[in-house]
Amino acid sequence: MPDWITRFPKSLSINIKDPIDKAIDHMVVNWSPFFDVLKTGLRAFLNLIGFLVNLVPWWLLIIAVFALTLRMTRKRHKAVLYSLMLLFIGAIGLWDLMYQTLTIVIASVFISLLIGFPTGILISYGRRADAIVRPILDTMQTMPSFVYLIPAVMLLGLGNVPAVIATTIYAIPPIVRMTSLGIRQVDREVVEAATAFGSTRFQALVKVQIPQALPTIMSGVNQTIMMAIAMVVTCSMIGASGLGSEVVTGINRLESGRGVAAGAAIVILAIIIDRLTQSIFKKDGEAS
């Protein structure tokens, strides 16, 4: 039996590793002005978010969560539970780290929404745009994050800036998908009615389609936030500060307690944000 039947023939092999390495090396050396601008911009943005987050003292945040939960869910026991959970994060000494994590999460979510929302609207219109963007989104969600983390470090340095980029890559797909889905699900007749009454395409979009699609869009926002929180630990592998680095240190030093404490704080953060955003969106959904 010829060899090429049982084994993949060597003559068919192509080398994609070297060109990719070369391209990244080239970018590291020659594109640094561009990445410097990106870095400086992102860093300023991160500092701003960090500044705003740190304006909120610990007691105010707990009170705010209490009040918000009470207003949204009308359940006193939930409000008490969430406040106690937050208090717990502070009690185990992770309050400041939680703020650092929040800063990265908020910045990433903000950028994701800024890019993802318009993209979602765009691809809801055209089949071709959809055909192009969909595989890209699939790639972003399935590509193992370490694969793009290391090039991100080479181009942007270690720390919070590449962490925001990596988190954005991971967290952007849900908002794009859900926006496009939501808009497409709006009844064609409703849109036709709006057009018949003389609204332009833009007016129909802003005044009819988006409000109608809001519940779906908002669940996209919620998922985007959750994805961003899920990236916290991974990003600490490239030097992002916050709860994630505490987990990584705990694992590296075989200090299980440290890892579990920080892990629990991440879970609490995720639960509170998830429940609060969901209840807000439900409200919005009912109102529209």
Partner 1 sequence: MKKRFILYVVLLAMALSVFGGCSSGSEETKLQVTFGEAGWDSMKFHNAVAMYISEVAYDIEVKEVSGTTAVTYGALLSGDIQVFMEIWTENLATYDDDIATGKIRELSINYGDNKQGLYVPRYVIEGDEKRGIEAAAPELKTVEDLKNYSDVFTDPEDTSKGRIYGAISGWEADKVLRSKYTYYGLDESYNYMDPGSDAALSAAISAAYERGEPIVAYYWEPAWLTGKYDLVLLEDAPYDESLYRDGKCAYPSVSVTVCVNSDFYETAPELCEFLSNYKTSSALTSEALSHMQDTGATSEEMVIWFLTTYDELLDQWLPEDKAGLVRESLAS
**Piece of the chain touching partner 1 by CB under 8 A; list 55-63, 107-115, 158-166, 261-269:** 158-166
- Cβ neighbours of residue 175 under 8 Å, at least 6 residues apart? 112, 113, 116, 117, 120, 217, 220, 221, 223, 224
- Tell me, what DSSP letter sits at residue 135? H
Figure out which of the listed residues 240, 261, 266, 268 binds partner 1, where binding follows CB under 8 A.
240
Give start and end residues of each alpha helix (H) in the chain.
Answer: 3-6, 17-30, 32-55, 58-73, 76-91, 95-125, 127-142, 145-156, 160-185, 188-196, 201-203, 210-230, 232-236, 243-252, 256-287
Figure out which of the listed residues 90, 211, 239, 285 binds partner 1, where binding follows CB under 8 A.
239
CA atoms of 76 and 84, how far apart (whole Å):
12
Cβ proximity to partner 1: between 39 and 177 the closer is 39
**Computed from CA positions of residues 99, 220, 223, 90, in that sequence, does the dihedral angle turn out positive or negative?**
positive
Does the protein bind partner 1 through residue 256 (CB under 8 A)? no
**Shortest Cβ 238–partner 1 spacing (Å):** 5
Total residues binding partner 1 (CB under 8 A): 32
What per-residue string of b and e applies to 180-197 under the rule 16 or more CB within 10 Å gives b? Answer: bbbbbebeeeebeebeee
Does the protein bind partner 1 through residue 223 (CB under 8 A)? no
Cβ proximity to partner 1: between 252 and 288 the closer is 252
Cβ proximity to partner 1: between 36 and 138 the closer is 36
Cβ proximity to partner 1: between 5 and 254 the closer is 254
* Lookup result for tokens 């944000």: 273
Does the protein bind partner 1 through residue 245 (CB under 8 A)? yes
Does the protein bind partner 1 through residue 16 (CB under 8 A)? no
User: 232 exposed, middle or buried (CB, 10 Å; 0-12, 13-18, 19+)?
Assistant: buried
**Piece of the chain touching partner 1 by CB under 8 A; list 109-117, 172-180, 188-196, 245-253:** 245-253
**Shortest Cβ 163–partner 1 spacing (Å):** 10
Contact set with partner 1 (CB under 8 A): 17-18, 21, 25, 28-29, 32, 39, 43, 146, 149-150, 153-155, 157-161, 236-240, 245, 248-249, 251-254
